[in-house]
Amino acid sequence: MSKGNKYNRFQKSGIVTIVAVYLLILVGGIVRSTGSGMGCPDWPKCFGSWVPPTEVSQLPSDYQQVYHDRGYAEVEFNVYKTWTEYLNRLLGALIGIFVFITLLYSIPYLKSDKVIFYLSLLSFILVGFQGWLGSVVVATNLAPWMVTIHMLVAIVIVCILIYTVARSFTGKVAVGTVANKPLLNKLLLFLVTASLIQIVLGTQVRETIDEIALALGESQRINWIGQLGTSFYIHRTFSTLILFAHVYLFYTLMKGTAREGMIYFYTKLLLITIIAEIIAGVGMAYFGIPAFLQPVHLLLAVVAIGIQFILLLLLNQEKVFSNTAVSLTDKQLSYR
């Protein structure tokens, strides 16, 4: 991505943080698909301890009564769900540390491009806000609207981090010329919006699945799809529209973009991601909603939005990668 293939410490830290946030989204999907969201019924502790129990004998005999308002009145302790949720929280805390390190490494940019520092600061604040939202999700016993907001904030954090890191490559990125830029910008903005709507629709389908799973039980998993209502069919139909729109984007970009450039690479990657996401969705529909496919489906959807955003930045390189910001020297920023 950079001339000379050299990344300074801010860029390295930022890229690692972005990957970590995507990993957290995957783990969050695993938590949801395995029903582990209330594996720890309190926050920030888990069953009143910083390290959760490994067996029911470590809990008070009346733990179901103590946590009855969190759905434990008729639910027995499950060590796998508890530790899945606990590891999810640990990863969230680790990302907080990553973002803080990225913020520290952004301080030198106050001399050349203050926007990078302030966006890093905003990311740090949003990660703290996201942690608080996580506590609200637990306090509301996984209220669907809170789960959706929690997901959308994660996407906002990813996009801010992507833009911040991209901006740090000022003067180091050669994207090349692109034809039909106004059309492509409109198409990408449409796709970002449509993808966000599709994720919200997906969360509604997930809510319905949770209700059906509670009513029918795990043994009837193969019959869950047949019980889904309008939201599922809207979600499925909308995916076809999104696929065709991405194919059109790919075709339009290929007509006016050099085949060896970054835009060409990310366009191919986007189309592959969308196809993989749809295949995962089809797999869930025809194979009884296997738990392992649900987090993969969600992760691919969020990865697609990230790639769409990167393409928007590359298409508008004169604004993002302009020479208005002066790059700091390697001595100031790079590892030694």
Domain boundaries, the chain: 1-171, 174-321
Q: Would you state the pLDDT for residue 148?
A: 87
335 pLDDT band (50/70/90 cuts)? very low
* Burial of 259 per CB tally in 10 Å (0-12, 13-18, 19+): exposed
Q: Which residue is listed with tokens 């890093």?
A: 120
Q: Would you state the pLDDT for residue 327?
A: 40
* Alpha carbon distances (Å) from 90 to 20, 27, 103, 124, 161: 12, 11, 20, 17, 21
Which of 57-61, 145-149, 274-278 has the highest average model confidence (pLDDT)?
274-278
3-state secondary structure of 322: coil
| Confidence check: pLDDT of 112 > 90 | no
| Confidence check: pLDDT of 3 > 50 | no
| Confidence check: pLDDT of 2 > 50 | no
Specify whether the CB–CB gap between 216 and 227 falls below 8 A. Answer: yes
174-321 is a CATH 2.30.30 domain: no
Secondary structure element (H or E) that encloses residue 39, with its range? none
114-125, pLDDT tens digit by residue? 999 999 999 999
Instruction: Report which of residues 127 and 222 the model is more confident about.
Output: 127
108 pLDDT band (50/70/90 cuts)? very high
Q: Would you state the pLDDT for residue 330?
A: 39
Give the percent of the chain with pLDDT over 90.
45
13 pLDDT band (50/70/90 cuts)? very high
Arithmetic mean of pLDDT, 251-260 = 74
* Alpha carbon distances (Å) from 120 to 109, 150, 156, 305: 10, 20, 13, 20
Q: Write out the two tokens for 25.
A: 């989204």
15-63, pLDDT tens digit by residue? 999 999 999 999 988 988 888 888 888 888 888 889 999 998 888 877 7
| Confidence check: pLDDT of 185 > 80 | yes
165-176, pLDDT tens digit by residue? 999 887 666 666
Q: Would you state the pLDDT for residue 331?
A: 41
- pTM, two decimals, is 0.86
